[in-house]
Amino acid sequence: MGRRNTFAGPYLDRAAHLRQDPAWFEAALADRGSRVIAVWNSRNLIAGSSPPHAVLLDLSMVPPEHRNIGELILLGRFGEHHCFAFEIEAIEPPALLEGARFEDLRLIAPRLPADEAGLLAYARAMISWRRRHRFCGSCGSPTLAARGGHTLVCGNASCRAEQFPRIDPAIIVLVSESDRALLGRQASWPPSRYSTIAGFVEPGESLEDAVAREVFEETGIEVGRIEYHSSQPWPFPASLMLGFTAHAASTEIRRNDEELEDARWVTRAEIAAGKVRLPPPLSISYSLIEQWFDQGGVQKLREVHGDRS
């Protein structure tokens, strides 16, 4: 396997088989070595700058009234520590440690150790899920946490519906034709930025069908020879990006649904010359472009692209 996508990897032992054991949760609470990943306003706690690193707080820094399954989510074992996720609900960010600050994970992740980036993404995703499911979708009653915080159970005794963390599958694809790749841009992106084609998988649809549909809807291009590339957890808030490559069966671009501001065929030479601005290197889109670019000659994308994003 080549370079692993950001946020992916076996960076901790999730110990999912132990989540149904309340004693495990209580033992982790009692363990003086347990640590907390604090999340405030969807931001993670970071310290240092050259390089930065994730802050794992002592569990003792969480007020006693919040040290319970209703507010802590047991993520698993990270190195020698049990790790919990905890959301700080406050208007202003609290000053927890000197020199530490809350940062947007999308911006800081490329500079973090890979295992820390994955751990912070996991914590952020679980906090986001918990926040969005405070009430039962069947009867509207408040939900209660169970199984280490990985299940939310309706508090209504006559309902007791269970909710589990969900992800939204989305395909992302590098379509190529000869020495050209199909890239598109959204109006909200920075000037000149282009990326691969992406979209959410619909109910009753296979991944391959989603690839063909999204490419055709957004660009009018028909594709064939679809191949899986890799996947990337994308906790902003809860996507799983499923990367593919595909060969173009047609070449005339027609933006059928106007979701993209522009779509175009781009050559390796144009990318090397900086004619388009690529997505950030932490993204699976960049990985897809990189693989295609590097297969075409002696130049490597990271050599010609550097830190531009």
Q: What phi and psi, each to the nearest 5 degrees, are found at residue 95?
A: -90, 100
Q: Give 119-141 pLDDT, tens digit per residue.
A: 999 999 999 999 999 999 999 99
Both tokens assigned to 168: 């939204």
With cut-offs at 50, 70 and 90, classify the pLDDT of residue 307.
Answer: low
With cut-offs at 50, 70 and 90, classify the pLDDT of residue 309.
Answer: low
pLDDT for position 96? 87
Q: Per mean pLDDT, which range of 59-63, 187-191, 288-292, 301-305 is the poorest?
A: 301-305
Numbers of helices and strands, H then E, in the chain:
7, 16
Rounded to whole angstroms, how far apart are CA atoms 124 and 273? Answer: 37
Both tokens assigned to 50: 């050259």
Q: Give 137-163 pLDDT, tens digit per residue.
A: 999 999 999 999 999 999 999 999 999
Q: What phi and psi, each to the nearest 5 degrees, are found at residue 98?
A: -60, 130
Q: Give 18-54 pLDDT, tens digit per residue.
A: 999 999 999 999 999 999 999 999 999 999 988 999 9
Q: Do domains 16-163 and 168-295 have the same CATH topology?
A: yes
Fold of the 16-163 domain: Nucleoside Triphosphate Pyrophosphohydrolase (3.90.79)
Rounded to whole angstroms, how far apart are CA atoms 163 and 293? Answer: 43
* DSSP code for 295: T
What integer is the mean pLDDT of 96-122?
94
Handedness of CA 75, 78, 81, 86 (dihedral sign): negative
- Own/partner pairs, 129-135, CB within 8 angstroms, 24+ separation: 129/165, 129/166, 129/237, 129/238, 130/73, 130/87, 131/87, 132/237, 133/163
Rounded percentage of the chain residues whose pLDDT exceeds 90: 89
pLDDT for position 105? 96
Query: What pTM value is reported for the model?
Result: 0.92
Per the prediction, the chain carries an average pLDDT of: 94
Select 168-295's CATH number: 3.90.79.10, 3.90.1150.10, 3.90.650.10, 3.40.50.11310. 3.90.79.10
Please say if the pLDDT value at position 247 is more than 80: yes
Q: Outline where the chain has alpha helix (H).
A: 22-30, 105-108, 114-132, 207-219, 268-272, 284-294, 301-305
Q: Give 167-225 pLDDT, tens digit per residue.
A: 999 999 999 998 999 999 999 999 999 999 999 999 999 999 999 999 999 999 999 99
Q: What residues does each domain of the chain span?
A: 16-163, 168-295
DSSP, residue by residue, 199-245? EEPPTT--HHHHHHHHHHHHH---EEEEEEEEEEEETTTTEEEEEEE
pLDDT for position 2? 60
